[in-house]
Structure 1
Amino acid sequence: MTPDSGYIIDEKYTDVLFPYAYNILGAVEDARDTVQEVLTKHLSATKEHITDEKNYLIRSVINFAINLKTRRKKTRRKDDIWLPEPVASDDTADKNLHLNEILSYSLLALMERLNARERAVFILRESFDYSHLEIAGILSITEEHLRKLLSRAKASIQKPLPRHNRPPDAHERDVLERFLGAIRRRDIQQLESIMAADIQFYADGGGKIPLAAKECAGASQVAALQMVIYQKYLLSARLEYITVNHQPALLSYVRDRLTSCQVFNLHPELGTLQQIHVVLDPDKLKLLSKQFKP
Protein backbone atom coordinates (compact mmCIF):
# COMPACT_ATOMS: atom_id res chain seq x y z
CA MET A 1 0.00 0.00 0.00
CA THR A 2 1.35 3.43 -0.90
CA PRO A 3 0.67 6.83 0.67
CA ASP A 4 -1.45 7.75 -2.35
CA SER A 5 -3.72 4.74 -2.05
CA GLY A 6 -5.95 6.49 0.48
CA TYR A 7 -5.44 6.01 4.19
CA ILE A 8 -8.40 5.79 6.51
CA ILE A 9 -8.20 8.97 8.51
CA ASP A 10 -9.23 8.52 12.11
CA GLU A 11 -7.11 10.98 14.04
CA LYS A 12 -8.41 9.60 17.33
CA TYR A 13 -6.49 6.39 16.73
CA THR A 14 -3.90 6.91 13.99
CA ASP A 15 -2.07 9.48 16.11
CA VAL A 16 -1.96 7.09 19.05
CA LEU A 17 -1.05 3.97 17.08
CA PHE A 18 1.71 5.31 14.84
CA PRO A 19 4.49 5.58 17.48
CA TYR A 20 3.99 1.96 18.59
CA ALA A 21 4.34 0.72 15.01
CA TYR A 22 7.27 3.00 14.15
CA ASN A 23 9.23 2.24 17.31
CA ILE A 24 9.02 -1.49 16.55
CA LEU A 25 9.54 -1.27 12.79
CA GLY A 26 11.86 1.73 12.44
CA ALA A 27 10.27 2.60 9.09
CA VAL A 28 7.62 5.26 8.53
CA GLU A 29 5.85 3.69 5.56
CA ASP A 30 5.75 0.25 7.18
CA ALA A 31 4.35 1.87 10.33
CA ARG A 32 1.66 3.70 8.37
CA ASP A 33 0.75 0.54 6.49
CA THR A 34 0.53 -1.37 9.76
CA VAL A 35 -1.83 1.17 11.31
CA GLN A 36 -3.91 1.27 8.13
CA GLU A 37 -4.16 -2.52 7.93
CA VAL A 38 -5.26 -2.82 11.55
CA LEU A 39 -7.85 -0.03 11.25
CA THR A 40 -9.22 -1.46 8.01
CA LYS A 41 -9.74 -4.89 9.57
CA HIS A 42 -11.20 -3.31 12.69
CA LEU A 43 -13.80 -1.33 10.75
CA SER A 44 -15.22 -4.47 9.13
CA ALA A 45 -14.98 -6.73 12.19
CA THR A 46 -17.59 -7.42 14.85
CA LYS A 47 -16.85 -5.48 18.01
CA GLU A 48 -19.16 -6.96 20.63
CA HIS A 49 -16.25 -8.64 22.41
CA ILE A 50 -14.17 -5.44 22.60
CA THR A 51 -14.46 -3.62 25.92
CA ASP A 52 -11.58 -1.16 25.44
CA GLU A 53 -11.23 -0.18 21.79
CA LYS A 54 -8.06 1.90 22.16
CA ASN A 55 -6.10 -0.82 23.96
CA TYR A 56 -7.46 -3.44 21.60
CA LEU A 57 -6.09 -1.48 18.63
CA ILE A 58 -2.75 -0.86 20.35
CA ARG A 59 -2.45 -4.59 20.98
CA SER A 60 -3.36 -5.36 17.36
CA VAL A 61 -0.81 -2.88 15.99
CA ILE A 62 1.97 -4.16 18.23
CA ASN A 63 1.42 -7.78 17.25
CA PHE A 64 1.07 -6.93 13.56
CA ALA A 65 4.30 -4.90 13.74
CA ILE A 66 6.14 -7.74 15.51
CA ASN A 67 5.20 -10.17 12.75
CA LEU A 68 6.16 -7.71 10.01
CA LYS A 69 9.49 -6.87 11.67
CA THR A 70 10.30 -10.57 11.97
CA ARG A 71 9.62 -11.12 8.27
CA ARG A 72 11.66 -8.06 7.27
CA LYS A 73 14.69 -9.15 9.31
CA LYS A 74 14.67 -12.61 7.75
CA THR A 75 15.27 -11.07 4.32
CA ARG A 76 18.44 -9.23 5.39
CA ARG A 77 21.97 -10.49 5.15
CA LYS A 78 23.62 -10.91 8.53
CA ASP A 79 26.47 -8.57 7.64
CA ASP A 80 24.17 -5.75 6.50
CA ILE A 81 23.89 -2.55 8.52
CA TRP A 82 20.21 -1.62 8.78
CA LEU A 83 19.46 1.80 10.26
CA PRO A 84 16.03 3.21 11.14
CA GLU A 85 14.35 5.69 8.84
CA PRO A 86 15.07 9.18 10.27
CA VAL A 87 12.13 11.35 11.25
CA ALA A 88 12.48 15.12 11.64
CA SER A 89 11.61 16.24 15.17
CA ASP A 90 12.19 19.99 15.05
CA ASP A 91 9.78 22.84 14.30
CA THR A 92 9.46 21.79 10.66
CA ALA A 93 8.43 18.23 11.53
CA ASP A 94 5.16 16.52 10.67
CA LYS A 95 3.15 17.03 13.84
CA ASN A 96 0.83 14.14 12.92
CA LEU A 97 3.63 11.68 13.70
CA HIS A 98 3.28 12.36 17.46
CA LEU A 99 6.96 12.89 18.00
CA ASN A 100 6.86 12.89 21.80
CA GLU A 101 6.33 9.11 21.70
CA ILE A 102 9.00 8.44 19.07
CA LEU A 103 12.26 7.13 20.49
CA SER A 104 15.70 8.65 20.06
CA TYR A 105 17.54 7.60 16.94
CA SER A 106 20.42 6.02 18.83
CA LEU A 107 18.08 3.86 20.88
CA LEU A 108 16.16 2.72 17.78
CA ALA A 109 19.43 1.79 16.10
CA LEU A 110 20.62 -0.04 19.20
CA MET A 111 17.41 -2.06 19.37
CA GLU A 112 18.20 -3.64 16.00
CA ARG A 113 20.21 -6.12 18.10
CA LEU A 114 16.93 -7.46 19.48
CA ASN A 115 14.40 -9.74 17.88
CA ALA A 116 10.99 -8.23 17.27
CA ARG A 117 9.34 -9.63 20.39
CA GLU A 118 12.22 -8.58 22.66
CA ARG A 119 12.08 -5.15 21.09
CA ALA A 120 8.34 -4.82 21.73
CA VAL A 121 8.74 -5.90 25.36
CA PHE A 122 11.59 -3.45 25.92
CA ILE A 123 9.67 -0.56 24.33
CA LEU A 124 6.46 -1.21 26.24
CA ARG A 125 8.22 -1.57 29.58
CA GLU A 126 11.04 0.98 29.39
CA SER A 127 9.48 3.62 27.14
CA PHE A 128 5.71 3.42 27.57
CA ASP A 129 5.75 2.31 31.23
CA TYR A 130 3.43 -0.66 30.78
CA SER A 131 3.31 -3.09 33.70
CA HIS A 132 4.52 -6.68 33.35
CA LEU A 133 0.93 -7.87 33.57
CA GLU A 134 -0.21 -5.50 30.81
CA ILE A 135 2.62 -6.50 28.47
CA ALA A 136 2.01 -10.19 29.06
CA GLY A 137 -1.62 -9.65 28.14
CA ILE A 138 -0.77 -7.71 24.97
CA LEU A 139 1.65 -10.38 23.73
CA SER A 140 -0.34 -13.35 25.07
CA ILE A 141 2.59 -14.71 27.07
CA THR A 142 3.20 -15.54 30.72
CA GLU A 143 4.82 -13.01 33.03
CA GLU A 144 7.71 -15.45 33.52
CA HIS A 145 8.32 -15.54 29.75
CA LEU A 146 8.02 -11.76 29.65
CA ARG A 147 10.70 -11.33 32.32
CA LYS A 148 13.06 -13.58 30.35
CA LEU A 149 12.49 -11.55 27.17
CA LEU A 150 13.03 -8.28 29.02
CA SER A 151 16.19 -9.60 30.68
CA ARG A 152 17.62 -10.71 27.32
CA ALA A 153 16.75 -7.36 25.77
CA LYS A 154 18.48 -5.38 28.50
CA ALA A 155 21.54 -7.63 28.33
CA SER A 156 21.78 -7.15 24.55
CA ILE A 157 21.45 -3.38 24.77
CA GLN A 158 23.72 -3.28 27.85
CA LYS A 159 23.55 0.49 28.37
CA PRO A 160 20.04 1.66 27.49
CA LEU A 161 19.90 5.17 26.14
CA PRO A 162 17.20 7.62 27.27
CA ARG A 163 13.76 7.32 25.75
CA HIS A 164 14.48 10.45 23.79
CA ASN A 165 17.24 12.99 24.17
CA ARG A 166 16.62 16.56 25.18
CA PRO A 167 16.25 18.91 22.20
CA PRO A 168 19.65 19.74 20.69
CA ASP A 169 20.93 23.05 22.01
CA ALA A 170 23.44 25.73 20.98
CA HIS A 171 26.30 23.75 22.52
CA GLU A 172 25.56 20.74 20.35
CA ARG A 173 25.31 22.95 17.30
CA ASP A 174 28.73 24.32 18.24
CA VAL A 175 30.15 20.78 18.44
CA LEU A 176 28.90 20.05 14.92
CA GLU A 177 30.34 23.34 13.68
CA ARG A 178 33.74 22.37 15.12
CA PHE A 179 33.31 18.88 13.65
CA LEU A 180 32.78 20.28 10.15
CA GLY A 181 35.47 22.92 10.59
CA ALA A 182 38.07 20.33 11.52
CA ILE A 183 37.14 18.19 8.51
CA ARG A 184 37.31 21.15 6.13
CA ARG A 185 40.71 22.21 7.50
CA ARG A 186 41.86 18.58 7.48
CA ASP A 187 42.76 19.01 11.14
CA ILE A 188 42.59 15.38 12.21
CA GLN A 189 43.83 16.07 15.75
CA GLN A 190 41.02 18.57 16.34
CA LEU A 191 38.54 16.14 14.84
CA GLU A 192 39.67 13.31 17.12
CA SER A 193 39.42 15.62 20.16
CA ILE A 194 35.70 16.06 19.47
CA MET A 195 35.15 12.30 19.42
CA ALA A 196 34.90 9.79 22.23
CA ALA A 197 37.75 7.27 22.19
CA ASP A 198 35.29 4.45 21.44
CA ILE A 199 33.10 6.35 18.95
CA GLN A 200 31.08 4.16 16.58
CA PHE A 201 30.20 4.86 12.95
CA TYR A 202 27.48 3.07 10.97
CA ALA A 203 26.26 3.65 7.42
CA ASP A 204 23.23 2.26 5.58
CA GLY A 205 23.04 2.54 1.80
CA GLY A 206 20.22 0.05 1.47
CA GLY A 207 22.29 -1.92 -1.04
CA LYS A 208 21.71 0.89 -3.53
CA ILE A 209 24.47 3.37 -2.69
CA PRO A 210 28.23 2.58 -2.58
CA LEU A 211 29.69 3.07 0.88
CA ALA A 212 33.15 4.10 2.01
CA ALA A 213 32.54 1.79 4.99
CA LYS A 214 29.55 0.11 6.61
CA GLU A 215 30.93 0.49 10.11
CA CYS A 216 33.98 1.76 11.93
CA ALA A 217 35.04 2.26 15.55
CA GLY A 218 37.62 4.29 17.46
CA ALA A 219 38.42 7.99 17.25
CA SER A 220 41.46 7.71 14.95
CA GLN A 221 39.73 5.34 12.53
CA VAL A 222 36.43 7.26 12.42
CA ALA A 223 38.22 10.62 12.05
CA ALA A 224 40.26 9.29 9.12
CA LEU A 225 37.11 7.87 7.53
CA GLN A 226 35.30 11.20 7.91
CA MET A 227 38.12 12.94 6.06
CA VAL A 228 37.83 10.47 3.18
CA ILE A 229 34.03 10.74 3.04
CA TYR A 230 34.10 14.53 2.99
CA GLN A 231 36.75 14.80 0.29
CA LYS A 232 35.16 12.15 -1.90
CA TYR A 233 31.43 12.78 -1.47
CA LEU A 234 30.70 16.05 0.36
CA LEU A 235 33.23 18.57 -0.89
CA SER A 236 30.64 20.30 -3.07
CA ALA A 237 27.61 19.37 -0.97
CA ARG A 238 25.31 21.83 0.79
CA LEU A 239 24.81 20.91 4.44
CA GLU A 240 21.81 21.78 6.62
CA TYR A 241 21.34 21.30 10.36
CA ILE A 242 18.11 19.68 11.53
CA THR A 243 16.88 17.59 14.46
CA VAL A 244 16.15 13.92 13.78
CA ASN A 245 14.48 11.69 16.37
CA HIS A 246 15.41 14.25 19.05
CA GLN A 247 19.10 14.27 18.07
CA PRO A 248 21.23 16.73 16.04
CA ALA A 249 21.68 15.81 12.38
CA LEU A 250 23.13 17.06 9.11
CA LEU A 251 21.42 16.78 5.75
CA SER A 252 23.68 16.70 2.68
CA TYR A 253 22.46 17.98 -0.68
CA VAL A 254 24.28 17.45 -3.96
CA ARG A 255 22.78 19.45 -6.85
CA ASP A 256 19.62 20.00 -4.76
CA ARG A 257 19.14 16.27 -4.17
CA LEU A 258 19.18 14.97 -0.61
CA THR A 259 21.93 12.34 -0.55
CA SER A 260 22.49 11.60 3.13
CA CYS A 261 21.36 12.22 6.68
CA GLN A 262 23.99 12.03 9.41
CA VAL A 263 22.63 11.63 12.93
CA PHE A 264 24.90 12.40 15.88
CA ASN A 265 24.78 11.09 19.42
CA LEU A 266 26.61 13.39 21.85
CA HIS A 267 27.64 12.62 25.41
CA PRO A 268 25.22 14.64 27.58
CA GLU A 269 27.95 16.01 29.88
CA LEU A 270 31.17 15.90 27.88
CA GLY A 271 29.68 16.93 24.55
CA THR A 272 31.87 14.46 22.65
CA LEU A 273 30.54 12.51 19.67
CA GLN A 274 29.58 8.99 20.75
CA GLN A 275 28.02 7.68 17.55
CA ILE A 276 27.50 8.76 13.96
CA HIS A 277 24.72 7.07 11.98
CA VAL A 278 24.64 7.85 8.27
CA VAL A 279 21.54 7.05 6.21
CA LEU A 280 22.13 7.09 2.44
CA ASP A 281 19.36 4.70 1.37
CA PRO A 282 17.15 6.85 -0.95
CA ASP A 283 14.02 5.06 0.24
CA LYS A 284 14.74 6.09 3.84
CA LEU A 285 15.33 9.70 2.79
CA LYS A 286 12.00 10.15 0.98
CA LEU A 287 10.14 11.67 3.92
CA LEU A 288 12.95 14.12 4.72
CA SER A 289 13.22 15.00 1.01
CA LYS A 290 9.56 16.02 0.99
CA GLN A 291 9.85 17.99 4.23
CA PHE A 292 13.09 19.76 3.36
CA LYS A 293 12.85 20.69 -0.29
CA PRO A 294 15.74 22.87 -1.53
Structure 2
Amino acid sequence: MKNYLQLLFPYAYNILGSVEDARDTVQEVIYKFTSKKVVPENQKNYLIKAVINEAINLKKKKSRTQPMENWLPEPMSTDRSDLALELRELVSYSILILLEKLNPKERAVFILKEAFAYTHPEIAEVLGISVESSRKLLSRGHQRLNEPLNPTRPKSKGDFDVLDRFVSAVRTKDLEGLQALLSEDIAFTADGGDKVKVVKRFCSGKTEVAEISILVHHRFLANKTIRTAWINHQPALIYYYKGKILTCQVFELGQDNQILRISSIVDPEKLKNLTPNE
Protein backbone atom coordinates (compact mmCIF):
# COMPACT_ATOMS: atom_id res chain seq x y z
CA MET A 1 0.00 0.00 0.00
CA LYS A 2 3.00 2.33 0.41
CA ASN A 3 3.35 2.62 -3.37
CA TYR A 4 -0.32 3.52 -3.60
CA LEU A 5 0.17 6.29 -1.03
CA GLN A 6 2.82 7.88 -3.27
CA LEU A 7 0.77 7.33 -6.43
CA LEU A 8 -2.45 8.80 -5.04
CA PHE A 9 -1.07 11.82 -3.18
CA PRO A 10 -0.66 14.20 -6.18
CA TYR A 11 -4.24 13.57 -7.33
CA ALA A 12 -5.57 14.65 -3.93
CA TYR A 13 -3.12 17.51 -3.38
CA ASN A 14 -3.66 19.07 -6.82
CA ILE A 15 -7.39 19.23 -6.10
CA LEU A 16 -7.19 20.29 -2.45
CA GLY A 17 -4.04 22.44 -2.29
CA SER A 18 -3.41 21.12 1.24
CA VAL A 19 -0.81 18.55 2.27
CA GLU A 20 -2.66 17.43 5.40
CA ASP A 21 -6.04 17.19 3.67
CA ALA A 22 -4.48 15.25 0.80
CA ARG A 23 -2.80 12.78 3.14
CA ASP A 24 -6.00 12.34 5.14
CA THR A 25 -7.99 11.77 1.95
CA VAL A 26 -5.59 9.13 0.65
CA GLN A 27 -5.43 7.34 4.00
CA GLU A 28 -9.22 7.33 4.33
CA VAL A 29 -9.64 5.82 0.86
CA ILE A 30 -7.00 3.15 1.48
CA TYR A 31 -8.54 2.30 4.84
CA LYS A 32 -11.94 1.80 3.21
CA PHE A 33 -10.33 -0.20 0.41
CA THR A 34 -8.54 -2.60 2.77
CA SER A 35 -11.84 -3.15 4.59
CA LYS A 36 -13.64 -4.26 1.44
CA LYS A 37 -14.54 -7.92 1.13
CA VAL A 38 -14.58 -7.83 -2.67
CA VAL A 39 -11.37 -6.64 -4.31
CA PRO A 40 -11.89 -4.77 -7.62
CA GLU A 41 -10.20 -6.14 -10.71
CA ASN A 42 -8.21 -2.97 -11.38
CA GLN A 43 -7.09 -1.78 -7.94
CA LYS A 44 -5.07 1.19 -9.23
CA ASN A 45 -7.92 2.73 -11.23
CA TYR A 46 -10.38 2.05 -8.42
CA LEU A 47 -8.19 3.87 -5.88
CA ILE A 48 -7.49 6.83 -8.19
CA LYS A 49 -11.21 7.24 -8.84
CA ALA A 50 -12.01 6.98 -5.12
CA VAL A 51 -9.35 9.52 -4.12
CA ILE A 52 -10.43 12.05 -6.74
CA ASN A 53 -14.07 11.84 -5.76
CA GLU A 54 -13.24 11.99 -2.03
CA ALA A 55 -11.06 15.06 -2.70
CA ILE A 56 -13.84 16.74 -4.72
CA ASN A 57 -16.30 16.22 -1.87
CA LEU A 58 -13.85 17.58 0.71
CA LYS A 59 -13.05 20.60 -1.48
CA LYS A 60 -16.77 21.38 -1.73
CA LYS A 61 -17.10 21.16 2.04
CA LYS A 62 -14.05 23.37 2.64
CA SER A 63 -15.31 25.95 0.15
CA ARG A 64 -18.52 26.31 2.15
CA THR A 65 -16.90 26.60 5.57
CA GLN A 66 -13.77 28.69 5.06
CA PRO A 67 -13.22 32.07 3.34
CA MET A 68 -11.34 31.53 0.08
CA GLU A 69 -10.54 35.18 -0.71
CA ASN A 70 -6.76 35.56 -0.94
CA TRP A 71 -6.42 31.92 0.18
CA LEU A 72 -3.07 30.43 -0.83
CA PRO A 73 -2.29 26.72 -1.25
CA GLU A 74 -0.01 24.95 1.19
CA PRO A 75 3.54 25.03 -0.24
CA MET A 76 5.52 21.86 -0.91
CA SER A 77 9.26 21.63 -1.31
CA THR A 78 10.43 20.35 -4.70
CA ASP A 79 14.12 20.94 -4.02
CA ARG A 80 15.19 17.34 -4.60
CA SER A 81 17.11 16.79 -7.83
CA ASP A 82 15.74 13.25 -8.26
CA LEU A 83 12.10 14.06 -7.65
CA ALA A 84 9.88 11.18 -6.68
CA LEU A 85 6.81 10.59 -8.82
CA GLU A 86 4.45 12.28 -6.37
CA LEU A 87 6.54 15.47 -6.50
CA ARG A 88 7.02 15.54 -10.27
CA GLU A 89 3.27 15.36 -10.81
CA LEU A 90 2.44 18.34 -8.60
CA VAL A 91 1.22 21.29 -10.64
CA SER A 92 3.10 24.56 -10.17
CA TYR A 93 2.19 26.93 -7.38
CA SER A 94 0.84 29.57 -9.75
CA ILE A 95 -1.46 27.06 -11.42
CA LEU A 96 -2.77 25.94 -8.01
CA ILE A 97 -3.71 29.55 -7.30
CA LEU A 98 -5.48 29.96 -10.63
CA LEU A 99 -7.41 26.73 -10.12
CA GLU A 100 -9.10 28.27 -7.07
CA LYS A 101 -11.32 30.08 -9.60
CA LEU A 102 -12.85 26.73 -10.56
CA ASN A 103 -15.42 24.68 -8.72
CA PRO A 104 -14.17 21.30 -7.44
CA LYS A 105 -15.44 19.24 -10.39
CA GLU A 106 -14.08 21.69 -12.98
CA ARG A 107 -10.79 21.60 -11.10
CA ALA A 108 -10.70 17.79 -11.15
CA VAL A 109 -11.37 17.66 -14.90
CA PHE A 110 -8.75 20.31 -15.54
CA ILE A 111 -6.10 18.51 -13.49
CA LEU A 112 -6.81 15.11 -14.98
CA LYS A 113 -6.59 16.52 -18.52
CA GLU A 114 -3.72 18.97 -18.14
CA ALA A 115 -1.55 17.41 -15.42
CA PHE A 116 -2.14 13.69 -15.98
CA ALA A 117 -3.01 13.69 -19.72
CA TYR A 118 -6.26 11.74 -19.27
CA THR A 119 -8.56 11.49 -22.28
CA HIS A 120 -12.16 12.67 -21.97
CA PRO A 121 -13.47 9.07 -21.95
CA GLU A 122 -11.05 8.27 -19.10
CA ILE A 123 -12.12 11.39 -17.17
CA ALA A 124 -15.78 10.50 -17.71
CA GLU A 125 -15.18 7.02 -16.29
CA VAL A 126 -13.31 8.33 -13.24
CA LEU A 127 -15.86 11.02 -12.37
CA GLY A 128 -18.96 9.10 -13.38
CA ILE A 129 -20.03 11.66 -15.97
CA SER A 130 -20.56 11.65 -19.73
CA VAL A 131 -17.77 12.41 -22.20
CA GLU A 132 -19.73 15.47 -23.32
CA SER A 133 -19.94 16.70 -19.71
CA SER A 134 -16.18 16.26 -19.36
CA ARG A 135 -15.59 18.38 -22.47
CA LYS A 136 -18.00 21.06 -21.25
CA LEU A 137 -16.41 21.20 -17.78
CA LEU A 138 -12.95 21.62 -19.32
CA SER A 139 -14.18 24.33 -21.70
CA ARG A 140 -15.95 26.14 -18.87
CA GLY A 141 -12.80 25.87 -16.77
CA HIS A 142 -10.73 27.51 -19.50
CA GLN A 143 -13.28 30.30 -19.80
CA ARG A 144 -13.39 30.93 -16.05
CA LEU A 145 -9.63 31.04 -15.76
CA ASN A 146 -9.58 33.63 -18.54
CA GLU A 147 -5.79 33.57 -18.76
CA PRO A 148 -3.25 31.13 -20.20
CA LEU A 149 -1.74 28.48 -17.98
CA ASN A 150 2.02 28.57 -18.33
CA PRO A 151 3.72 25.17 -18.26
CA THR A 152 6.02 24.40 -15.35
CA ARG A 153 9.09 26.58 -15.81
CA PRO A 154 12.32 24.61 -16.18
CA LYS A 155 14.54 25.08 -13.15
CA SER A 156 17.33 27.59 -13.73
CA LYS A 157 19.96 29.00 -11.39
CA GLY A 158 19.22 32.30 -13.10
CA ASP A 159 15.86 32.34 -11.29
CA PHE A 160 17.69 32.53 -7.97
CA ASP A 161 19.77 35.43 -9.33
CA VAL A 162 16.51 37.34 -9.74
CA LEU A 163 15.57 36.53 -6.14
CA ASP A 164 19.02 37.65 -4.94
CA ARG A 165 18.51 41.01 -6.68
CA PHE A 166 15.04 41.23 -5.13
CA VAL A 167 16.43 40.70 -1.62
CA SER A 168 19.25 43.18 -2.22
CA ALA A 169 16.78 45.85 -3.39
CA VAL A 170 14.42 45.45 -0.43
CA ARG A 171 17.32 45.43 2.04
CA THR A 172 18.74 48.70 0.67
CA LYS A 173 15.28 50.22 0.10
CA ASP A 174 16.13 50.62 -3.58
CA LEU A 175 12.62 51.36 -4.82
CA GLU A 176 13.68 52.06 -8.39
CA GLY A 177 15.83 48.94 -8.61
CA LEU A 178 13.03 46.83 -7.13
CA GLN A 179 10.45 48.18 -9.56
CA ALA A 180 12.75 47.23 -12.45
CA LEU A 181 12.42 43.58 -11.40
CA LEU A 182 8.62 43.68 -11.37
CA SER A 183 6.19 43.32 -14.27
CA GLU A 184 3.68 46.08 -14.91
CA ASP A 185 0.78 43.98 -13.60
CA ILE A 186 2.67 42.32 -10.72
CA ALA A 187 0.35 40.83 -8.08
CA PHE A 188 1.16 40.28 -4.40
CA THR A 189 -0.92 38.05 -2.12
CA ALA A 190 -0.33 37.30 1.57
CA ASP A 191 -2.06 34.53 3.52
CA GLY A 192 -1.71 34.53 7.31
CA GLY A 193 -4.67 32.23 7.94
CA ASP A 194 -6.55 32.97 11.15
CA LYS A 195 -3.41 33.14 13.30
CA VAL A 196 -1.23 35.84 11.71
CA LYS A 197 -2.39 39.33 10.77
CA VAL A 198 -0.75 40.47 7.53
CA VAL A 199 -0.03 44.08 6.55
CA LYS A 200 -1.98 43.70 3.31
CA ARG A 201 -3.67 40.66 1.84
CA PHE A 202 -3.50 41.74 -1.78
CA CYS A 203 -2.03 44.51 -3.89
CA SER A 204 -0.92 44.96 -7.50
CA GLY A 205 1.17 47.22 -9.70
CA LYS A 206 4.89 48.00 -9.53
CA THR A 207 4.75 50.88 -7.07
CA GLU A 208 2.41 49.31 -4.52
CA VAL A 209 4.08 45.89 -4.56
CA ALA A 210 7.58 47.40 -4.29
CA GLU A 211 6.51 49.56 -1.33
CA ILE A 212 4.79 46.70 0.53
CA SER A 213 7.79 44.40 -0.09
CA ILE A 214 10.19 46.92 1.44
CA LEU A 215 7.85 47.66 4.35
CA VAL A 216 7.29 43.98 5.22
CA HIS A 217 10.99 43.17 4.99
CA HIS A 218 12.16 45.97 7.29
CA ARG A 219 9.29 45.61 9.76
CA PHE A 220 9.33 41.81 10.11
CA LEU A 221 12.13 40.07 8.19
CA ALA A 222 15.26 42.22 8.29
CA ASN A 223 17.07 40.12 10.93
CA LYS A 224 15.87 36.73 9.71
CA THR A 225 17.91 34.08 7.89
CA ILE A 226 16.98 33.66 4.24
CA ARG A 227 17.49 30.76 1.87
CA THR A 228 16.31 30.09 -1.66
CA ALA A 229 14.25 27.01 -2.44
CA TRP A 230 12.12 25.34 -5.07
CA ILE A 231 8.49 25.31 -3.94
CA ASN A 232 5.99 23.53 -6.20
CA HIS A 233 8.55 23.83 -9.04
CA GLN A 234 8.92 27.62 -8.62
CA PRO A 235 11.72 29.70 -7.04
CA ALA A 236 11.02 30.83 -3.49
CA LEU A 237 12.51 32.58 -0.48
CA ILE A 238 12.27 30.91 2.94
CA TYR A 239 12.65 33.23 5.94
CA TYR A 240 13.37 31.58 9.28
CA TYR A 241 14.58 32.43 12.77
CA LYS A 242 16.01 30.04 15.36
CA GLY A 243 14.97 27.02 13.33
CA LYS A 244 11.38 28.18 12.79
CA ILE A 245 10.05 29.13 9.36
CA LEU A 246 8.18 32.43 9.46
CA THR A 247 7.48 33.16 5.79
CA CYS A 248 7.63 31.42 2.44
CA GLN A 249 7.50 33.70 -0.60
CA VAL A 250 6.87 31.92 -3.90
CA PHE A 251 7.73 33.79 -7.10
CA GLU A 252 6.30 33.42 -10.58
CA LEU A 253 8.74 34.63 -13.22
CA GLY A 254 7.99 35.52 -16.83
CA GLN A 255 10.03 34.62 -19.88
CA ASP A 256 11.94 37.90 -19.51
CA ASN A 257 12.73 37.05 -15.86
CA GLN A 258 10.45 39.79 -14.58
CA ILE A 259 8.44 38.90 -11.47
CA LEU A 260 4.76 38.32 -12.32
CA ARG A 261 3.44 37.24 -8.91
CA ILE A 262 4.61 37.00 -5.31
CA SER A 263 2.69 34.64 -3.01
CA SER A 264 3.60 35.14 0.64
CA ILE A 265 2.55 32.27 2.92
CA VAL A 266 2.69 33.32 6.59
CA ASP A 267 0.10 30.95 8.04
CA PRO A 268 2.09 28.67 10.41
CA GLU A 269 -0.29 25.76 9.70
CA LYS A 270 0.72 25.89 6.03
CA LEU A 271 4.43 26.15 6.81
CA LYS A 272 4.75 23.22 9.21
CA ASN A 273 5.64 20.68 6.49
CA LEU A 274 8.59 22.74 5.30
CA THR A 275 11.98 22.71 6.99
CA PRO A 276 14.47 25.62 7.31
CA ASN A 277 17.22 23.61 5.60
CA GLU A 278 16.31 21.03 2.96
1:7-26 superposed matches below 5 A: 10-26=1-17
Distance 1:100 1:162 in 2: 16
Does the residue aligned with 2:70 lie in a helix, a strand or coil? coil
Q: Distance in 1 between matches of 2:222 and 2:242?
A: 12
Map 1:40-79; keep pairs closer than 5 Å: 40-48=31-39, 50-77=40-67
Distance, in Å, in 1 between the alignment partners of 2:51 and 2:151 is 20
Identity %: 44
List gaps (5 residues or longer) in structure 2: none
**Match for residue 3 of structure 1?**
none
Q: For residues 95-119 of structure 1, what are the alpha-carbon distances to aligned partners after superposition, in whole Å with 9 as ceiling and x for unaligned?
A: 6672111110110111111111110
| Map of 2:76 onto structure 1 | 87
Q: Does 1:225 align with 2:216?
A: no
1:140 alignment partner, one of 128, 132, 149: 128
AA paired with 1:68?
L
Residue identity opposite 2:44 in structure 1 = K
Deviation at 1:197, TM superposition (A): 0.3
Alignment of 1:88-167 (within 5 A): 88-91=77-80, 98-167=86-155
- Do the aligned partners of residues 176 and 213 (structure 1) sit closer, same or farther apart at CA in structure 2, a change above 3 Å counting? same
Of the three residues 258, 271, 279, the one matched with 2:257 is 271
Contact 1:194–1:273 under 8 Å retained in 2:
yes
Tell me the secondary structure at the aligned position of residue 98 of structure 1: helix
User: What is the letter of the counterpart of residue 25 of structure 2?
Assistant: T
AA of the residue aligned to 1:72: K
Using the TM superposition, give the Cα deviation of residue 12 of structure 1 relative to its aligned residue in structure 2, in angstroms.
2.5
Contact preservation (8 Å) 1:89, 1:244: yes
- TM-score norm. by structure 2 comes to 0.95
Which residue number in structure 1 is paired with residue 188 of structure 2? 201
- 1:287 corresponds in structure 2 to 273
Question: Structure 2: which amino acid aligns with 1:55?
Answer: N
Q: Deviations over 1:244-271 (max 9, x none)?
A: 011000111134321110000001x200
- Separation in 1 of the partners of 2:129 and 2:86? 29
Give CA-to-partner distance per residue, 1:47-74, whole Å, 9 cap, x none. 35x2211011000000000000110111
- Match 1:34 to one of 5, 25, 41: 25
Count of matched residue positions in the alignment of Structure 1 and Structure 2? 278
**Structure 1 CA distance for aligned equivalents of residues 151 and 96 of structure 2:** 10
Q: After superposition, where does 1:237-248 map in structure 2 within 5 Å?
A: 237-248=224-235
1:122: Cα distance to partner? 0.3
Amino acid at match of 1:135: I
Deviation at 1:218, TM superposition (A): 0.7
Aligned twin of 1:6: none
What residue identity is the alignment partner of 2:181? I
CA distance in 2, matches of 1:21, 1:163: 20
8 Å contact kept, 1:107–1:160: no
CA distance in 1, matches of 2:221, 2:85: 30
Structure 1 residue 293: deviation in Å?
5.3
The worse-fitting range, judged by mean Cα deviation, of 69-78 and 23-32 is 69-78
> What is the deviation of 1:91?
2.3
Residues 10-60 of structure 1: CA deviation (Å, up to 9, x unaligned): 222111101000100111111111110001100111335x22110110000
Paired amino acid for 1:279: I
Which residues of structure 1 form unaligned runs of 5+? 1-9
CA contact (8 A) 1:127 1:163 kept: no
Q: Matches of 1:97 and 1:217 in 2, distance apart? A: 35
